[in-house]
Chains A and B, each alone.
Chain A
Amino acid sequence: MLQQLANGVFAGSIYALFAIGFTLVFGILRHLNLAHAAIFTAGAFVGIEIATRTGMPIWVLFPVVAAVGALAGLLLERVAFRPLAGRDDEHFAGLISSVAFGGVLIALIQARYGTEPKSFKQDYFPNQLFEFGGIRVTLTQLVTLGLALVLMLGLAWLVSATPLGRAMRAVAENPTAAKVVGVNVHSVTAGTYALSSALGTVAGALLALNLGQADRGLGLSIELIGFAVIILGGLGSLWGAMAAGIVLGLAEALTIHYFDSTWKGLVPFALLFLVLVIRPRGLFGHVKVREV
C-alpha cells in the first residue's frame, strides 16, 4: 500500500514535469500549444544523442538539452504563433499551426534518427535501488521527483521575483495593458515559449532515462494526461500542475491496487471530467471576474 502511494507520487512527477512547460504557455498566453509533445520527444532524442556522443554527465546534459529546447521554443513562437497574433481566428489557427509545427519536428526526428527507438547507454546513468522502511525506490525515480521539484521551485521563483516573471504576469493579466505600460509583449511571448520548451525538452530527456528508450510517440503518449493535469491544476497554476500530476499518479496507482488495471486508463479522464463539471476552474485555479 505504501509502496503503491510512492509509485503514484513518482509516476505523477513525470506527468507534472510534462505539464509545467505546457501550463506555463497556457497560463500566460492562453495558447494550447500542441507542438509541446513533439518538443518533448525531440528533447528525448537530442538528450540521448548528446549523451551517447559526448558522455557528458547528467547535470551538464540537462542544461544543454534545455538550451536546445529554448532555441526550438523561440523558433516555434516565431514560426507558428507570432504570424497569427491579432488575427480573428488566432485561437483555432494557433492550435493548427502548432500541430503542423509538431508534425514537421516529428518528421525531422525520423529523418535524423530513423524509425527505431533510441536509448541511453546503460552505464550512462547506472540505476540504484534504495529501500526506506520496505518501500523500494530507484535512483531514477528520485531524480525525476527531485528535478520536478527543483524546476518547479526555479520556475516559481522566476515568475514571482524576476523582471521577466513580472512581465509575464503582466501579459497574463492583460496583454494590451502590459503593452501600454512598456512591456515588450513580443519578447515576453518568445521568452515564455523558450522557457516552456526548455522545460519540455528536459522532461522528455528525463522520461527517456526513466523508460530506457525514446521513440517518436513518446510525447503523444503523455500529451493527453498533460491536458488533464493542466486543467485539474487550474489555469496556468504551476503548483497546481505539480499537485494535479501527483493526484493523477496516485489515482492510477490506487486503481491498480484496489481494482482492475484495465480500468486504469479511465481514471484520469473520469476525474478530469468530474472536476470540470463540478468546479470548472480546476482544483487549484483562481476565480476570474467576468467583465462586460
Chain B
Amino acid sequence: MLVGYDTLITNIALAAILAYSFHVVLMAGQLNLGQAGFASLGAYVSTLIVPTEPLFGSLSPVLIGIPVGAFVGGAAAFLVGLPVLRLRGVFLAIGTIAFGEMVRVFMNNAEWTNGALGVRVDKWVTVDFAWIIVAVLAYLFWRLGPSRIGRAFAAVREDELAASSMGVNVVRTRMTSFVASGAIAGVYGVMFLYFFGRITPTTFDFSLTVDGLVTAVLGGYLVFFGPILGAGFFTAVPELQKALGVEAGWVDPFITAVILLIVILFLPGGLSTAFARIRRGRPDPGGDIEGLEPLPDNGTPIASIKGLGKSYGAVQAVREVDLDLRSGEILGVIGPNGAGKTTLVNMISGLETPTTGEGEVLGVRLGATGGAHRFAQAGVSRTFQHSKLFDRLSVLDNVLVGTHAVSRSTYLRRLIWLPSARRDEKRARALAWAQLRRVGLADRAHARPGSLSYGDQRRLEIARALASHPTLLILDEPAAGMNHVEAAELAELIRSLADDRITVLFIEHNVKMVLDTCTRLVVLNFGEVIAEGEPRAVAADPKVVEAYLGGVLDEEASENV
C-alpha cells in the first residue's frame, strides 16, 4: 500500500526519536543541546560492538545496538552532567553545544572512526522496527506524565526552588532527565546508523541539534506525543509542497520556515496544544488518606538553632539568632523590611546555608550539603514571599506536587499497570483534594493558577505546602496583598492548622493578624532578635516600638494593610 514511502515514514520515526531526546529535557526545563554528541558516541561505539551478521540467523543485530546506544549515550550524559548540570538556561545550552562539537572534532580525528571518511555498515533497521521504537518511547512518556517523577519534572521546569521546597530532589531530577536524554539520543544515533548504513562525524553536527530542538518544541513538550507531531510536520510540509508542484530551490525552505514561525507564534506550546485542551480533569476521588505518619505531640521540640548568622559579603543579613520551636506552636516573626526575616526562614527550610552557627530542624542539620528537599522530606514545608506557583500546571497538579514528599514513586509500576500504582496515585489525589477543600479552592481545581485572584493564589500555595503533610509549616508573608476579610479567614485557617497539631512559623507585616494568631512572637531588627515571647508583651516592648518608626505599632501597622 505504501510502497515507495518507507524512507519517508522511517524519517518521521527517526526525527521523532531525536525529538524525544529533547522532549525529556524540555519537560524538566533543561536546555540540554548536547544530543548530537551523545548520538555520535552511541552510533560510533555500536559500530565496534554490534555484530555484522543476524543474531541466531534471523534477528536484527540492531537489537544489540539499541541497548549499546542507550547505555553509551546515557553514561556519557551522566559524566557530562556531573560538571555541567550546575549551569542553567542559556549557559547550560551553550556548554552542552560545546560538548557536542568536541565529540564531532574527536570523531573526525580518531583513527578507529575512519575520520571524515565515515563508516559503512549493513542496513538493518526497517520501517516497522523504527516505529516500534517510537511506540515504546511514546508509551514511556505517556505513562510518565501523571506519575510522581513526571510531576517532579514539571515542577523543576516551572520553579526549581519551589520544587525543592516540596521535597523534589532537583539535582537528581535534572540528572535523570539529562541521562534519559543522552540514552534516547544514543538510540537515535544507532537507529540512524543502521537505517542509512552510513555515518560521518558531520552527521551529528550542530544542525542536527537545531533540527531536534525545533521538532520537539514545535510538536510541544507538554504532551507525550508532541515529538511525533513535530516530526510528522517537518516531513509532511515539504512533501505536501512537492505534491503541489512547488519547485525545488528556495521556495520550499521558505514556506517551511514561515509555517514554523506562524505555528510557534500562534500556537503556544506547539502543535499538540490543539489536542491537549480537550483533556478534562478528573473529579475528586474522595476516600481515605491512609499511611500518613502521625504528627508529633504538642510540646515536642522540633527545631533548635544556636548563634545562626548569614552574611553576603560585607552585608550581615542575620546574626546570632537563637531559636527553639516546639510542636503545636504558632510562631510569628515580625520586623521591618530588611530585618533578615526571609533569610532566617530560608536557612530553616534549607534554601540557604548559614555562614555561622548551627542548628537542627526535624533531625536535619542546617548547613549540611544535599539540598532543600531533605528538609521537605523531614517534614518542613513552606510558602514564598513572592508566590512561586507552577504556572503551567493546573491548581490540582500544583497541589499534587506537594504530595511528593509523602508519596512513593509510581512510574515503574505504572509502566506495567500494577494496581498498587493506581492506588498510590489515587491516594495522592485524595490528599491533594483534601488540601484544596481545606483552603476553599476545591471548585477551582482545574483552573490555571494565573486565573486565580491574588488571595486565592496565596491560599493555593498554602494548600500545596500542606499536601506534604508537614510537621512544620513556614509561611512567608501569607497575607500580603489580602484584604481584611481574606486576612481574617487566613488567620482562622492558621489556627485550625495548629489544632491539627501542625507547627506554624510565619512572617507577616500585618501585625494585627500576627497578634491575633500566634502563640509566640519573635521580633528581628538588623538581623538580630530584639525581642521574643508572648505576643502582647513583646508588642509593648519599647525596643520593638522603637524599631517600628516611632512607636504607633498596633494602630499604624494594622491600618497599613
Q: Which of A92, A220, A266 contacts B102 (CB 8 A)?
A: A266
B516 within 8 A of A: no
B84 contacts A107, C-beta separation under 8 Å: no
Interface residues contributed by chain A, number (CB under 8 Å) = 48
Q: Which of B102, B108, B221, B249 contacts A110 (CB 8 A)?
A: B249
Q: List residues 211-226 of chain B with CB under 8 A from any CB of chain A.
A: 213-214, 217-218, 221
Q: Which of B26, B94, B106, B254 contacts A107 (CB 8 A)?
A: B254
Q: With a 10 A CB-CB cut-off, give which of A26, A100, A220 has the most chain B CB atoms.
A: A100
**A91-B89, A107-B250, A292-B384 given; A272·B264 CB < 8 A:** no
Majority-rule SS of A interface residues:
helix
**Interchain Cβ contacts within 8 Å, total number:** 134
A96 contacts B90, C-beta separation under 8 Å: no
Distance from B26 Cβ to chain A, minimum over Cβ atoms (Å): 7
B90 contacts A32, C-beta separation under 8 Å: yes
Task: Give CA–CA (A280, B512) in the complex, Å.
Answer: 46
Q: List residues 60-92 of chain B with CB under 8 A from any CB of chain A.
A: 83-84, 86-87, 89-91
Which B-chain residue is minimally distant from A266 (CB atoms)?
B105
Distance from B376 Cβ to chain A, minimum over Cβ atoms (Å): 15
Q: Which of A81-89, A120-128, A134-142 contacts B (4 or more CB under 8 A)?
A: A81-89
A92 contacts B217, C-beta separation under 8 Å: yes
Which B-chain residue is minimally distant from A82 (CB atoms)?
B265
Chain B residues, Cβ within 8 Å of A161 = none
Chain A residues, Cβ within 8 Å of B268 = 87-89, 93
Chain A residues, Cβ within 8 Å of B84 = 276-277
How would residues 9 to 37 of chain A score, 1 for a CB under 8 Å from any chain B CB and 0 otherwise? 00000000000000000100010101000
Q: With a 10 A CB-CB cut-off, give which of B98, B99, B213, B251 has the most chain A CB atoms.
A: B98
B491 within 8 A of A: no
B94 contacts A231, C-beta separation under 8 Å: yes
B253 contacts A103, C-beta separation under 8 Å: yes
A99 within 8 A of B: yes
Chain B residues, Cβ within 8 Å of A30 = 90
Task: Give CA–CA (A34, B257) in the complex, Å.
Answer: 13
B256 within 8 A of A: yes
A104 within 8 A of B: yes
How would residues 101 to 114 of chain A score, 1 for a CB under 8 Å from any chain B CB and 0 otherwise? 11110111011000
B102 contacts A269, C-beta separation under 8 Å: yes
Which B-chain residue is minimally distant from A270 (CB atoms)?
B102
B217 contacts A93, C-beta separation under 8 Å: yes
B114 within 8 A of A: no
Distance from B100 Cβ to chain A, minimum over Cβ atoms (Å): 9
Chain B residues, Cβ within 8 Å of A5 = none
Q: List residues 59-98 of chain A with CB under 8 A from any CB of chain B.
A: 79-80, 83-84, 87-89, 91-93, 95-97
A150 within 8 A of B: no
Distance from A75 Cβ to chain B, minimum over Cβ atoms (Å): 12
Chain A residues, Cβ within 8 Å of B392 = 88
B264 contacts A96, C-beta separation under 8 Å: yes
How would residues 93 to 123 of chain B score, 1 for a CB under 8 Å from any chain A CB and 0 otherwise? 1110111011011101100000000000000
Complex A-B: 6 CB contacts under 8 Å: A92-B217, A107-B250, A107-B253, A111-B254, A231-B94, A231-B95
Nearest 6 CB-CB pairings of A with B: A103-B257, A107-B254, A100-B261, A110-B250, A269-B98, A100-B260
In the complex, besides A96-B218, A272-B98, A273-B99, 19 extra interface pairs with C-beta distance below 8 angstroms are A30-B90, A80-B261, A88-B392, A92-B217, A93-B264, A93-B268, A96-B217, A96-B264, A99-B210, A103-B256, A104-B261, A108-B250, A227-B94, A228-B98, A262-B109, A269-B105, A270-B98, A273-B98, A277-B86
Please list the residues of chain B having a beta carbon within 8 angstroms of any beta carbon in chain A.
26, 31, 83-84, 86-87, 89-91, 93-95, 97-99, 101-102, 104-106, 108-109, 161, 206-207, 210, 213-214, 217-218, 221, 249-251, 253-254, 256-258, 260-261, 264-265, 268-269, 312, 342, 346, 351-352, 384-385, 391-392
